[in-house]
């Protein structure tokens, strides 16, 4: 090899290594951001007033999130009601587990079977949203997520079980 071919090969090798490291860093950051907030919920009722109670967990060690609102839909993208006051401005501090039982009753819902057909969407003030589908009173809600994000949650749970810190 001539001198200039060796220089070009070294330069391209270093550029490729840099792109590879940056790509790896971006994948890790996406992974941490995609799996840092988990939400569970169940239905409570008082008479004919049905309202969800939420279990929100922030598994991030450095990021605080602010909650925005809750939107209830019937699965056909037809919004039944948007609750803009129950969670607005509440903080999810890093490493915290929060339970919210003071959520306003859902309007136009009067039976448990109607609650089971609702899709609940919780929004953060950053615009990030979490879709949830209820299972029943006292049972955790099912997080409606894609296949890649579900695999990311399982991987993060595995990493936390073996106690490897990622942050």
Which CATH number is 78's domain given? 2.60.40
What is the overall mean pLDDT for the chain? 83
Helices (H) and strands (E) in the chain, counts: 3, 9
Please state the rounded mean pLDDT for residues 18-24.
Answer: 96
pLDDT for 143? 56
Long-range contacts of 140-149 (CB under 8 A, 24+ apart): 140/40, 140/41, 140/42, 140/55, 141/39, 141/40, 141/41, 141/42, 141/52, 143/38, 143/39, 143/40, 144/119, 149/34, 149/35
- pLDDT tens digits, one per residue of 56-112: 889 888 899 999 999 888 866 677 888 999 999 999 999 999 999 889 998 888 888
> Is 45 inside a domain boundary?
yes
Residue of 121 and 20 predicted with greater confidence: 20
Residue 110, domain member (yes or no): yes
**How far, in Å, CA of 100 to CA of 79, rounded?**
22
**Count of C-beta atoms within a 10 Å radius of residue 71:** 18
Most confident of 20-24, 26-30, 118-122: 20-24
Q: Is residue 25 part of a domain?
A: no
Domain encompassing residue 50? 35-161
Residue 146: its pLDDT value, please?
66
Which of 68, 107, 112 is closest to 86 using CA atoms?
Answer: 68
User: Which pLDDT score is estimated for 155?
Assistant: 85
Average pLDDT over residues 21-49: 86
Chain segment 98-127, per-residue pLDDT in tens: 999 889 998 888 888 888 888 888 899 988
156 assigned to some structural domain: yes
Flag whether 19 is in a domain: no
Q: How far apart are CA 38 and CA 138, in angstroms?
A: 17
pTM of the model: 0.71
Helical ranges in 77-139 per DSSP H? 112-117
| Phi, psi values for residue 68, rounded to 5° | -115, -95
Facing residues of 65 across strands?
Answer: 92
Q: Would you say residue 6 lies in a domain? A: no
How many domains, the chain?
1
Within a domain: 42: yes
Is 22 among the domain residues?
no
């Amino acid at each position: 090899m001539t001198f200039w071919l060796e220089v070009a090969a070294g330069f391209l090798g270093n550029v490729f290594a840099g792109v590879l490291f940056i790509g790896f860093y971006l994948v890790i950051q996406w992974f941490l951001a995609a799996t840092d907030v988990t939400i569970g919920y169940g239905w409570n009722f008082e008479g004919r007033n049905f309202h969800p109670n939420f279990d929100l967990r922030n598994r991030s060690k450095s990021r605080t999130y602010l909650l925005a609102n809750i939107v209830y839909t019937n699965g056909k993208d037809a919004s039944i009601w948007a609750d803009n006051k129950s969670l607005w401005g509440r903080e999810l501090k890093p490493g915290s587990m929060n339970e919210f039982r003071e959520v306003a009753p859902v309007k136009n819902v009067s039976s448990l079977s109607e609650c089971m057909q609702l899709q609940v969407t919780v929004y953060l003030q950053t615009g990030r949203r979490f879709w949830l589908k209820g299972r029943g009173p006292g049972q955790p809600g099912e997080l409606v997520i894609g296949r890649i994000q579900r695999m990311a949650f399982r991987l993060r749970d595995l990493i936390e079980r073996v106690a490897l810190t990622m942050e």
